[in-house]
Amino acid sequence: MMNIRHAMILSVCGCSAVSTAGVMSLEDDLRTQLYDLSSKTNSFPPNFFSDGTGGPVMSPIVFGDWEYDESFSIPAMSVDVYHASSVSSELLLAEGSIDGAVAAEIANYAFPTGVGFNDFNITFSISETTEFLIDATLMASGVSGKSSVVIRNWTSPFTVLYSQQAQNASVEVHETIELEAGIYSFTLLSEVSLAPVSGLDSASYSGSLSVVPAPSVLGLIGVSGMIASRRRR
pLDDT digits over 31-82, tens only?
887 777 877 776 666 666 654 555 545 555 688 888 888 888 888 888 899 9
Asked if residues 148 and 189 have their Cβ atoms less than 8 Å apart, the reply is: yes
Task: Name the phi and psi angles at 154, rounded to 5.
Answer: -75, -15
pLDDT tens-digit readout, 180-212: 999 999 999 999 988 777 889 999 999 999 999
In this prediction the pTM is: 0.78
Residue 209: how many other CB atoms lie within 10 Å = 25
Asked if residues 231 and 152 have their Cβ atoms less than 8 Å apart, the reply is: no
User: Residue 12: which residues within 8 A CB-CB, separation 6 or more?
Assistant: 18, 217, 220, 221, 224
> Does the CA dihedral 74-75-77-79 come out positive or negative?
positive
pLDDT tens-digit readout, 106-161: 777 777 778 888 899 999 999 999 999 999 999 999 989 999 999 999 988 779 99
Task: Name the phi and psi angles at 57, rounded to 5.
Answer: -115, 130
pLDDT tens-digit readout, 17-40: 333 456 899 999 888 877 778 777
> Distance (Å, rounded) from C-alpha 203 to C-alpha 82?
11
β-sheet bridge partners, residue 80: 71, 99
> Distance (Å, rounded) from C-alpha 88 to C-alpha 92?
6
3-class DSSP assignment, residue 142: coil
